[in-house]
Amino acid sequence: MTHGLDAARLPPVVPGLRVGLYGGSFNPAHAGHLHVSRMALRRLRLDRVWWLVTPGNPLKDRRELAPLSERMSTARDVAHCPRIAVTGFEAAIGARYTIETLRWLCRHCPTVQFVWIMGADSLASFHRWERFQEIASLMPIAVIDRPGYTLSGPNAPGARALARWRIDETDAPLLAGLRAPAWVFLHGPRSSLSSTALRNRV
């Protein structure tokens, strides 16, 4: 690894590794995150899933955000799986937006086959993300169904803009090896858990 990768504390990689990137505040991490990751590992035939614990989402209020170290510690406790790695490297490289994170990863890990993982609720607002079309051009995307977004997610502006690059769900195992843009919407058992609901309950 290069000095930059060591400083960012990325999980170890080897050429050809198929890695799902699951970004979020994880405030806190919960069983729903684990459900999504296990589905992605199985349906996309990934080798690993990395939980990218972000310093903060520009589209969300940061006032309720727990410290990064605390969120990472909880995420590791929840993940408890050898194929899921938790990293806070975005803070180390100073990334504010997802597009900055993905550019950095593509530059530093060019032999890794990355897939960006998001919930259908995120797809509904994807068009508001910084340079969302460039994100789609950097790596394939897997969208996991969420309660209440089965229909609205795939019909949102961002999804419509990328409609021609959507692949059939039966081809999901091929996604990691496809040239971007390419994306798939995965149906299946859905988790209704959310970090916001858990915070409110506390």
CB 74 within 8 A of CB 65: no
Q: What does the pLDDT read at residue 194?
A: 55
pLDDT-derived band at 190 (thresholds 50, 70, 90) equals low
Tokens coding 71: 């969120």
% of residues, the chain, pLDDT over 90 = 81
What's residue 80's pLDDT?
87
Residue 8 has pLDDT above 80, yes or no: no
Residues 6+ apart with CB under 8 A from 130: 58, 97, 98, 99
Q: Which two tokens stand for residue 56?
A: 């903060």
Residue 183: the pLDDT is 98
Residue type, 28: P
Q: Give the phi and the psi of residue 143 in degrees, each rounded to 5.
A: -110, 125
Output DSSP code: residue 73: H
Tens of pLDDT along 10-60?
Answer: 999 999 999 999 999 999 999 999 999 999 999 999 999 999 999 877 666
Asked whether the predicted pLDDT for residue 148 surpasses 60, the reply is yes
Provide the pLDDT for residue 73. Answer: 93
**The predicted structure's pLDDT at residue 56:** 79
Q: In the prediction, which pLDDT does 1 show?
A: 37
Closest CA to 44 of 178, 169, 173, 187: 173
**Helix, strand, coil content of the chain in percent (nearest 5):** 45, 15, 40
Percent of the chain with pLDDT over 70: 86
Q: Look at residue 9 in the predicted model and tell me its pLDDT.
A: 79
Quote the pLDDT of residue 21: 98
- Residues 18-53 as b or e (16 or more Cβ within 10 Å = b): bbbbbbbbbbbbbebbbbbbebbbebbebbbbbbbb
The whole-angstrom distance between residue 84's C-alpha and the CA centroid of its chain comes to 12
Local structure of residue 174 (DSSP, 8 states): G
Q: What is the pLDDT of residue 196?
A: 53
User: Based on the number of CB atoms within 10 Å of its own CB, is 140 exposed (0-12), middle (13-18) or buried (19 or more)?
Assistant: buried
Q: What is the pLDDT of residue 197?
A: 52
Give the burial string for 58-83 (b: 16+ CB within 10 Å, else e).
eeeeeeebeebeebbbbbeebbeeee
pLDDT confidence tier of residue 182, bands split at 50, 70 and 90: very high
Q: What is the mean pLDDT of the chain?
A: 89
Q: What is the per-residue pLDDT for 192?
A: 58
State mean pLDDT over 186-190: 80
Q: For domain 18-200, give its CATH number from 1.10.10.60, 3.30.70.890, 1.10.10.410, 3.40.50.620.
A: 3.40.50.620
| pLDDT for residue 3 | 38
Q: Nearest CA to 80 among 144, 135, 33?
A: 33
